[in-house]
Amino acid sequence: MHCIRFQCNKLILISYTHSKPLQHYSNSSQHNNIHNNVTISLLDREYPVDNLTTITPTILSKVDRHLHNQYQHPIEIIKRRIVSYFSHKWVDSNGDPLFKSFDNFSPVVSLEQNFDSLRVPLDHVTRSKSDNYYINNQFMLRAHTSAHQRDTIALGHSQFLVTGDVYRRDEIDTKHYPVFHQMEGVELFTNEELFGNEQGSLFDPLKEETEEKQAEHSLETVLAIEKNLKYKLESLMQHLFGNNLQMRWSGTYFPFTHPSYELEIYWNDKWLEVLGSGVMRQHILVAGGKGSKAGYAFGLGLERLAMILFGIPDIRLFWSKDRRFIDQFINLQENSSLNYKPFSLQPPAMRDMSFWINNGEFEMNDFHEIVRDEGEEWIENVELLDEYQSPETRRKSLCFRITYRCMERTLLGEEIQELHTRITDRLQKEMSVSIR
């Protein structure tokens, strides 16, 4: 059910979450339906709530955690290892790092920054209300660090990394959490930087877009950028995981790169996707005032990398304040490896629930949000066990299995029952489902 949401070739996998027609959201004020002067206060600012608001108190409480800046937290360790790879390996003629690293851009961005600056189409599935934490019709918690591409270029940077917390409404399991961390990388080249003294030209006078290239670029540009980006990212992965690492590239789609590539690594008998990348859409450079250059961008998921590198089995652990988790990383030396030791594996408890839904009205991510909001760190997994449609009424019934497990201690039977009841009550109240 999960995928990197900007890839349209996989959208079919998440179509279930988009059973409602998508609304066309924009940063204009046409949806300016402010709800009774209710406001959300976030990072010293007040935001009026409106009919696009999806942010919840549970999510708001994560905004000031800054795991990627918490010294020796596994997410921070991964960030530092990647930044250190770039700043040692890629230097200018004076030996100074080429890439500038940013890790404190605010996660509150405008819809314009998150989508329009990248020309994500207005009807693109990734804008959906059920996928994002909208603050209101103008602001949201960024869904990806790509939201900063254009503005960082406009600040005058041509080689940079942006690390930050990103927010997406999603389903619940051990690999997905509504807040996670990404690192964006961007590198722009002049004609000379890309081709040196050799013959070559960044731009294509023919202005034709093909499978291989954007209208603006020449084919040599794409090939040279592709080679550069693949080399840097392959050697990054070897730096993190060792020289014998097996990797494979494949073509993919993002609205803001063309062509686009994703990289998978082979780890414990499985291929795992670790990044999306591609030749940046030229309009982003133009809007940032660097239309005379061409470049690439990539986005890395830091939780995925840390889970692989340290053998961390459950994504909720990153949010744990339990010293038995945190202390395992405190004295880890640069570049040394560590295998996370489970400090207490508590037994899971399963509870099922079945309910009737009104066809066409049920949003899967809204359901997961309520479960997450009530259950917080006590829920490990939510699985759809069964779907059934009554032949007479045509009404649909869904059966879910919720796995309760707390990382830190054993949950009591009564606690689980009480929580399960609270979730059921909220579903009946807020989602107009009827429990069977």
**Where do we find the tokens 């909001």?**
373
* CB-nearest residue to ligand PHE: 299
- Nearest approach in angstroms of CB 257 to ligand PHE is 5
Burial-class residue 194 by CB neighbours within 10 Å (0-12, 13-18, 19+). Answer: buried
Residue 234 DSSP code: H
CB of 419 to ligand PHE, least distance (A): 32
**Contact indicator for 366, 318 with CB cutoff of 8 Å:** no
Residue 224: C-alpha distances to residues 107, 172, 194, 196, 279 (Å): 33, 41, 7, 11, 10
Q: Are strands 100-102 and 159-167 parallel, antiparallel or unpaired?
A: parallel
By beta-carbon proximity to ligand PHE, the closer residue of 298 and 378 is 298
Give dist(CA 357, CA 80) in Å, integer.
Answer: 47
Tokens of 363: 């949003």
* Nearer Cβ to ligand PHE (226/374): 226
Tokens at 435, concatenated? 């429990």
Q: For ligand PHE, which is the closer residue by CB, 25 or 261?
A: 261
Which is nearer to ligand PHE, 4 or 431 (by Cβ)? 4
Query: What's the per-residue H, E or C state across 82-115?
Result: HHHHHHHHCECCCCCECCEEECCCCCEEEHHHHC
Choose between 221 and 257: whose C-beta lies nearer to ligand PHE: 257
Closest approach, Cβ 130 to ligand PHE, in A, equals: 17
Which is closer to ligand PHE, CB of 299 or CB of 375?
299
What is the smallest separation between the CB atom of 160 and ligand PHE, expressed in angstroms?
12
Q: Which residues bind ligand PHE (CB under 6 A)?
A: 4, 6, 144, 146, 184, 254, 257, 276-278, 297-299
- The nearest distance, CB 226 to ligand PHE, in angstroms, is 13
User: Could you tell me the smallest distance in angstroms from the CB atom of residue 259 to ligand PHE?
Assistant: 11
